[in-house]
Amino acid sequence: MPDTLHPDVTEMIDTLDLYETRDLLRAVLAGYAPPVNDEAKTAALVNAVIDIGRCRGDRLEREKQQARDADSRDNYRAHVSSLADDVEQRVKDGEEDVSDILHELCDQDYWVIYYAAARKAVEYSGNEDAAFEECKDLGGLEGIDSLDDLYPKLAYFCILTDVRDELESRGHDLNDPSSWFNEEEDDSEEEDIDEDEEPSEDTSYPVGDSDPD
């Protein structure tokens, strides 16, 4: 880096916290030292510093956004799993209509009712094509004339599909919720019986023998 840069430029470079930007500036400015009184060159150099910093800042912001998106994607998948837990619990508590439970949970879900979240739900789902087809087949696209109306509809069907997939991945037949916990309960009952049973004492004696007491 030249030692005779204009003070404005030197101060600007010194205040940059982005090491890659500093390295780039050093490479660009190596061997170049505009006279302190050359205002035109100094102004051009100041603008170059600003542009480089802005570009680097934009890239950092994109990287931060990607990290936030990754975190939000994980949050979305965790939320889908949580909804599946809720469905399981309600079925275990005696509710039998899985379709009604799913509709109730998904219809007023955060990822559906808020537009920005709805757009992200469609992006994170991976089931957007299936959701779109189901939405269309059920007449959900009627009266839709803007993205503001479209995304919440698609988000609803995306979450609905994702929760169904999660339940099926757990081995549940969505058409027969009464079978969801039968095997688990049977196993539990067998374990209880085994624990309650105590070894019986053999009180029989060979023929001709009597109780030793």
- Domain positions in the chain: 7-183
Model's pTM, two decimal places?
0.55
In this prediction, residue 13 has a pLDDT band, given cuts at 50, 70 and 90, of low
Residue with tokens 């510093």: 49
Digit-coded pLDDT (tens) for 61-70:
766 666 566 5
* Helix, strand, coil tally for the chain in percent (to 5): 70, 0, 30
**How many Å apart are CA 180 and CA 119, to the nearest integer?**
33
Q: What percent of the chain has pLDDT over 90?
A: 30
The pLDDT value given to residue 1 = 44
Q: Is the pLDDT score of 85 beyond 70?
A: yes
